[in-house]
Structure 1
Amino acid sequence: MKNSEKIYKMSVAGVYPYYVGKAERKGRSREEVDEIICWLTGYGKDELKAILESDINFETFFRQAPEIHPNASKIKGIICGYRVEEIEDEIVQKVRYLDKLIDELAKGKSMEKILRK
């Protein structure tokens, strides 16, 4: 994937408003976006708040994540033209997992399905 370096360096706080905006335009909430991010990464709400007030990039965000949810491997499908389960770069794959989950939220899926319960 050619954009790996660009994705690594993107600020989490810079992308977050787009996630929230996409969710809210479809009648979903910032709280649901936060729940998805915390579920995927293992960060708590306070940790996420601190990250969003900093300039942490996606590479650092995912490398320092307490625990990627064991059910993350159940996230499948196409996002940005790539099949997420086939992305070889682990950081890019995790970013695309998050993109996919936010996409599912915006498409009206239940939180139970999004969080692979």
Structure 2
Amino acid sequence: MSGHRIFTTSFASVYPLYVHKAERKGRTKAEVDEVIRWLTGYDQAGLERQIDARIDFETFFTEAPQLHPHASLIKGVVCGVRVEDVDDPLMQKIRYLDKLVDDLAKGKAMEKILR
């Protein structure tokens, strides 16, 4: 696996940025948690345990109970990169999460975000 810096970055250090981005646009922490749980299969307690443990992104997705079966339907561009074209499976999962949070911050309805 390539050594992308984000793989070893603590999920807990990025999580507040996701929440802040959503809250700036009138969304809530609960909605951010909902999209993360939808994608990863964590329940709320499991998500909070992972944040408290300060695990890295690689471990966060490796230990995720189950990636949502419709995750591959997440399409679009994040940071100039089309998520469906990302070759590295871990990077693609991270981009999926970025795209869900972006859609939330853009005001999309939850039922459209969680396909």
Q: Quote the Cα distance in structure 2 between the aligned partners of 1:33 and 1:20.
A: 6
Q: Quote the Cα distance in structure 2 between the aligned partners of 1:44 and 1:103.
A: 21
For normalisation by structure 1, the TM-score amounts to 0.94
Q: How many residues align?
A: 114
Instruction: Provide the aligned C-alpha RMSD in A.
Output: 1.0
Match of residue 35 from structure 1:
34
Q: Quote the Cα distance in structure 2 between the aligned partners of 1:53 and 1:61.
A: 12
Q: Quote the Cα distance in structure 1 between the aligned partners of 2:26 and 2:96.
A: 21
- CA deviation digits over 1:37-81, x for unaligned, max 9? 000000000000111111200001111111000110000011011
What SS does the corresponding residue of 2:4 show, helix, strand or coil? helix
Match of residue 85 from structure 1:
84
Q: Quote the Cα distance in structure 1 between the aligned partners of 2:54 and 2:23.
A: 24
Match of residue 54 from structure 1:
53
Match of residue 104 from structure 1:
103
Match of residue 8 from structure 2:
9
Deviation at 1:13, TM superposition (A): 0.3
Runs of 5+ consecutive residues of structure 2 not aligned to the other structure = none
Divergent runs of 4+, >4 A:
none
For normalisation by structure 2, the TM-score amounts to 0.96
Q: Quote the Cα distance in structure 1 between the aligned partners of 2:31 and 2:8.
A: 25
AA aligned opposite 2:109: S
AA aligned opposite 1:111: M
AA aligned opposite 2:103: E
Runs of 5+ consecutive residues of structure 1 not aligned to the other structure = none
Match of residue 24 from structure 1:
23
What SS does the corresponding residue of 2:54 show, helix, strand or coil? coil
